[in-house]
Structure 1
């Protein structure tokens, strides 16, 4: 398939995306380009937020608070396959419009002009305003399914401590990325013929049956040029990470390049790479590398990206910058993935790789992946099942699998079997589970931090049975999360949607004692109308709670990260328990319905048994007495009634409900309530 065929196919798929997901054609093209941008780790989790006015255009943004980095995206859509040329002026114009947007928001010039109903855009402006002092890198992306010039990228620059970087993703870059993902094109670097360079090396062969090792020194300018061509495709996909100038080491790399380039080799530890093959020759007793096939950087990505980014600045001279490079040639090709992963893990790290990138081979994740490839979604009509959910255990799996299918019919079959809407990755799985485990404050701390905590839960639950039932219920949580996300979005609240969704799920989990009928959600691939009404009723309650921190003036995002925020929401009096009765699974909750089984001490079990032994009529009577006599608080009156329902239906109680029940009973007796046998 040539680039012309790829461009036509890409446009056709984008138009299908637009129709199936009810998006504008421009938004669909943007979304489909994101598949490649995120697979290359150039972005984390972009959010669509269209806005256009005089001198400004924004299609999406991505904010990574772990790296203090903001990315802005603007798209040039091409809707005719035979008219794909993008003028240099169009690209330059969009870079300028994104830069103006960022500057205007920082200066407070746009806030009054933006309608709060544009929730994603309003949230972006809040992020820029509230994190103005934290954001150290702004990356401006022009996206297009057309063909742009290769020399239109402005130079990087720095203003008031903020580093501005520019990226262009056009159809040629997408095509190159697609071919590499499909294994149809490898990174082949011909140092001698392409770059007129040969690298002196120390060859250490035959020390192992699995690898040969070569040590060399590569010019910084050449390393920057190679990275500029291949970008993060050079970085082994299971360990590549979003690279910015937040880390101290990156700032020092940049400073050394600018101020002491001749000392860079002495100061820097170098990079570790792997390859499938190298071309070497000997001349006058000296060994040289003149060719490397399928080069992958497994350690030193920060060094490489920092050299490249700094090279884009004005008046930067890399002629005296050199980098030590270790090349491990994998001879045991059948064990390539495992060996590369081990080298990545054990290489002396200058900057830590994200924990989520090293967890892919955990048995838990492998089991989820296996079920996602074998469990068909129940057919609503009773006919043959046609689709499944797709779990990305490693980055870019979905795109890899799609690319490996033969273009045309086979790829369309893949998209039917694994619809884009049904894919999810490790970070999203962690959001589903940690929200359900009632840790919305951890989810609010960001994807990477939340995943670290989720990984701890997996370690603690080493004996968890990832059964078919568990997988079905996990997908039930995924569906619940996605539906609630859409319901919140429709409310146009003006930000904090991610926090809202997690807190809503945690609240429902708490009120149902984790006994929501997730299996039924799996069967229906949707939540019930009744549950939608419950969510609709909860949205304004949760919104008022998270936007009213205990301390006046406290940042809302920071408030959502505190456990206290969750505890106070969980204790709120909300009359939804009767509405949730029909949503409770008939059978008692099994361990497979949650990652970690709740363990009670004998004393706690005794407290629950004591409350369960009190007749439902007593709890109903207490609630009526309290209302008639104007005794107790409204919360305690309602809880008394709810306890009667739970005991009557033998639904089981949480330890907190039981303790509150005994407290209420004691207080009522002290105020004159008498139990009538």
Structure 2
């Protein structure tokens, strides 16, 4: 795939979200570029937004509270389906508009201009204004699906005690990232051409039939430049992401570089890498490495990324910092993935690798991919099935598979795998963790949630069979359909949080017994669920916008377990779902569904409703009739509740919920109990 082809496909691929998610074309492009930056390790997470006035613009943002860093993103959108140039002036203006936004917000000039209804932008303005004593670092990213010159990127520097860093992600950089992640552009390190350096080494070229080994001492400034060029591409076999200096290890690396740079080689264990080819040049019988092909860091990703991040700081000198380097050259390319996997596993087991260090090549994801290529979607009309869901196990896989086909084959591919039926590895984490009633983890962002999800499946070891796959797709449909419903409401922000919290609440209220079989067979959610959602949405929206502690950022509030705990037992009528709730244990795909459907919450509802005296029900019934309150049906129900209370009859859950609803409504409309 050429750069021109990629530019066309990228735009087409991004605009799929416009109809599905009810967002603008510019937001759709911003969203897809954000995914690439997160995948590269440059960005941890971000909130989509859109604010534009004269001289000011912002398309997305993130606030890293722990490290006190604000990230601002501005997009230059190109609408034509071809490779397009972006002028230097447009890029310079975009950087300036984001910088203007920051200063205007910091100085309190936007608080009266950004409406509270523009929730996500309003939150950002508040954060910038409220953290002006603590935030000292701002990163500004300009995104574009056009081709731009890197010469236009402003130089990083300090202004009014704020250190600004500037980055440009254009279509060319996206293309490079795509090639790296799809194994179309192996990492090639040419020390002589790129760094004017020959790497002196100790060669152990007969150590094994499987590998040749080399040991070397690598200057840290070269390692930082290599990482700066390829980022997560050189860490692909070791999937740990760099978490900025959040861990003790990372902070220790930074401290050593700053205060004891000459001791770094002694203090640090170095990095372990693999390669497909290593080119050696001898001088006076001393071997020097001149080039490495398909280079991967399998242990030492934290060291590498920490060196790079520290190198960007003002006044940092890496001239005395060196890193111990081990290279294992794999002799049999066909066995490379297997051997690299073992090297990574054993190297990291000595340094406490976490469960979240989990690759998409694991059996779990490979099995899901196999089902996605073989399981046909049930035909609604009863005819022959014609399409499947497509699981994109690695980034760019969908486009790459399609790019290999002829025109006629490509049309067949589109029919077999419709674009709106594609899902990714992070998506699985969102679907499953929402259903497992952990929306606070989903709210932490796709990457962070995915790590937590991996911990879950490493512990539970789910069996990936046909039923599991069908239920997974049902959860995908549940997520996508609710996402579309929320999008239509145009609430002004926090759509991702709303969707996850709604799914978690449905899961909780039905005790995980919502019929996923119905969703799989019909490839949509039911009208009953859609109706129930219309009552659930305003409750969830009001809840997430009302943090327990006033003034708390909404995004941060959604990440807290307390947000979920204080929502789940709120009263909501979902009677329409009664026909879709499985009363047996047939759908026990999670392994923790109790035989008894009545939840603890329902028991409390029954107890509270049953404790109300008959006189109260008769009193409300009379008051409602005299003042024309409620519907005739509800007035009749009030009288019947009085009769049932007189008889000491046991209420069913539907009657109990309606009873509490009517008591609450009566009080709100003036009846004094």
So what's the TM-score if we normalise by structure 2?
0.79
C-alpha distance in 2 between matches for 1:526 and 1:220: 54
- Cross-structure match for 2:266: 266
CA distance, structure 2, for counterparts of residue 99 and residue 317 of structure 1 = 28
Is 1:584 the counterpart of 2:581? The answer is: yes
C-alpha distance in 2 between matches for 1:326 and 1:439: 41
Quote the Cα distance in structure 2 between the aligned partners of 1:100 and 1:16.
Answer: 32
Tell me the distance in 2 between the aligned counterparts of 1:502 and 1:460: 23
**How far 1:255 moved relative to its partner?**
5.1
- Whether the 8 Å CA contact 2:237–2:296 is kept in 1: the answer is no
Q: 1:418–1:563: structure 2 CA closer, same or farther, 3 Å change rule?
A: same
CA RMSD in angstroms comes to: 4.4
CA 1:37–1:627: 2 relative to 1, 3 Å: same
Whole-Å separation in 1 of the counterparts to 2:650 and 2:162: 56
Distance 2:428 2:324 in 1: 39
Report the Cα distance in structure 1 between the residues aligned to 2:62 and 2:164, rounded to whole angstroms. 15
Counterpart position of 2:189: 189
Contact 1:269 1:324 in 2 (8 A): yes
Question: Residues of 2 paired with 1:406 and 1:7: CA distance?
Answer: 18
Could you tell me how far 1:98 is from its partner in structure 2?
1.8
Listed one character per residue, the Cα deviations across residues 346-370 of structure 1 (whole Å, up to 9, x for unaligned) are 4359998774341645544443332
Aligned residue for 2:202? 202
Q: 1:340 to 1:79 in 2, by over 3 A?
A: same
Using structure 1 for the length normalisation, give the TM-score.
Answer: 0.78
Alignment correspondent of 1:307: 307
**In the alignment, is the contact (CA less than 8 A) between 1:155 and 1:312 conserved in 2?**
no
| 8 A Cα contact 1:72 1:98, kept in partner | yes
Q: How does 1:602-617 map to 2 (within 5 A)?
A: none
Deviation at 1:276, TM superposition (A): 0.7
Give the match for residue 225 of structure 2.
Answer: 225
- Shift, 1:278, TM fit: 0.3
Counterpart secondary structure, 2:112:
helix
Aligned to 1:510: 508
User: Which residue in the other structure is 2:517 paired with?
Assistant: 519
Change (3 A) 1:624 1:237: farther
What is the alpha-carbon distance in structure 1 between the residues aligned to residue 66 and residue 376 of structure 2? 37
Conserved? CA contact 1:181–1:400, under 8 Å: no
The 3-state SS of whatever aligns with 1:104 is: helix
1:373 is aligned to 373
Q: 1:17, 1:561 → 2: CA distance?
A: 25
**8 Å contact from structure 2 (residues 245, 306) kept in 1:** yes
Aligned to 2:498: 500
In structure 1, the residue matched to 2:342 is: 342
- C-alpha change, 1:22 and 1:540, in structure 2 (3 Å) is closer
Could you say what secondary structure the match of 2:152 adopts? coil
1:598 matched to which residue of 2? 593
Aligned in 2, Cα 1:415/1:217: closer, same or farther, shift over 3 Å?
farther
CA, structure 1 residues 138+267, in 2 after alignment: closer, same or farther (shift >3 Å)?
farther
In the alignment, what sits opposite 1:537? 535
Q: Which runs of 5+ in 2 are unaligned?
A: 621-637, 661-673
Q: Tell me how far 1:458 sits from its aligned partner.
A: 3.3
Alignment of 1:420-435 (within 5 A): 420-435=419-434
Report matched runs for 1:191-590 at 5 Å: 191-236=191-236, 239-254=239-254, 256-257=256-257, 260-313=260-313, 316-347=316-347, 355-358=355-358, 360=360, 363-393=363-393, 395-396=394-395, 398=397, 401-402=400-401, 405-406=404-405, 414=413, 416-444=415-443, 450-451=449-450, 454-455=453-454, 457-459=456-458, 461-462=460-461, 464-493=462-491, 495-550=493-548, 560-561=558-559, 563-574=561-572, 576-585=573-582, 588-590=584-586
- Further displaced range: 330-339 or 81-90: 81-90
Cα distance change of structure 1 residues 61 and 405 upon mapping to structure 2, 3 Å threshold: farther
Cα distance, 1:275 vs. partner? 0.7
Quick check: 1:521–1:527 contact (8 Å CA) kept in 2?
A: yes
The separation in 1 between residues aligned to 2:323 and 2:475, in whole angstroms, is 48
Question: Deviation at 1:537?
Answer: 0.8
**Secondary structure at 2:121 match in 1:** helix
Q: Measure, in 2, the Cα distance between the counterparts of 1:130 and 1:321.
A: 38
Q: Is the 8 A contact 2:281 2:288 kept in 1?
A: yes
- Residues 622-643 of structure 1 show CA distances to partners (whole Å, capped at 9, x for unaligned) of 9995864679xx9xx8999998
Q: Is the alpha carbon distance of 1:492 and 1:225 closer, same or farther for their aligned partners in structure 2, counting shifts above 3 Å?
A: same
Q: Distance in 2 between matches of 1:131 and 1:354?
A: 33
1:111 equivalent in alignment to 2:107: no
- Contact kept? 1:223, 1:304, Cα under 8 Å: yes
- SS of the residue 2:272 aligns to: strand
Q: Which residue of 2 aligns with 1:145?
A: 145
SS at match of 2:336: helix
Contact 2:141 2:167 (C-alpha < 8 Å) held by counterparts: yes
Contact 1:43/1:242 (8 A) holds in 2: no
Shift of 1:52: 1.4
Taking structure 1 as reference, are residues 453 and 369 closer, same or farther at Cα in structure 2, changes over 3 Å only? same
1:84, CA displacement in angstroms?
2.5
Do the aligned partners of 2:430 and 2:442 also contact (CA within 8 Å) in 1? yes
Q: Which 5+ residue runs of structure 1 have no aligned equivalent?
A: 649-656, 661-677
Indicate how the Cα distance of structure 1 residues 542 and 396 shifts in structure 2: closer, same or farther if over 3 A, else same.
Answer: same
Rounded to whole Å, the distance in 2 between the matches of 1:44 and 1:21 is: 22
The structural deviation recorded for 1:131 is 7.3
**Cα deviation, residue 274, structure 1:** 1.3
Q: Deviations over 1:193-246 (max 9, x none)?
A: 443321111122333332222111222332233233323222215514145244
* Deviation of 1:121 (Å): 3.2
Residue of structure 1 equivalent to 2:42: 42
Distance 1:302 1:642, change over 3 A: farther
User: How far apart in 1 are the matches of 2:466 and 2:34?
Assistant: 32
CA distance in 2, matches of 1:175, 1:323: 30
1:82 deviates by 7.0
Q: CA deviation at 1:73?
A: 2.2
- 1: CA distance, partners of 2:124 / 2:407: 38
Aligned partner of residue 43 in structure 1, secondary structure: coil
Q: Give per-residue Cα distances to partners, 1:583-637, cap 9 Å, x unaligned.
A: 334x634244x4232357xxx99999xx9xxxx9x99999995864679xx9xx8
Q: Aligned to 1:112, what secondary structure does the other structure show?
A: coil
Task: Name the CA distance, whole Å, in 1 between partners of 2:104 and 2:568.
Answer: 39
Going from structure 1 to structure 2, the CA distance change for 1:68 and 1:591 (only over 3 Å counts) comes to farther
Question: Aligned in 2, Cα 1:156/1:121: closer, same or farther, shift over 3 Å?
Answer: same
Instruction: Spell out, residue by residue over 1:426-465, the C-alpha distance to the aligned partner (whole angstroms, 9 max, x if none).
Output: 4432332233233334444555665565445435544x44
Q: Is the 8 A contact 1:116 1:492 kept in 2?
A: no
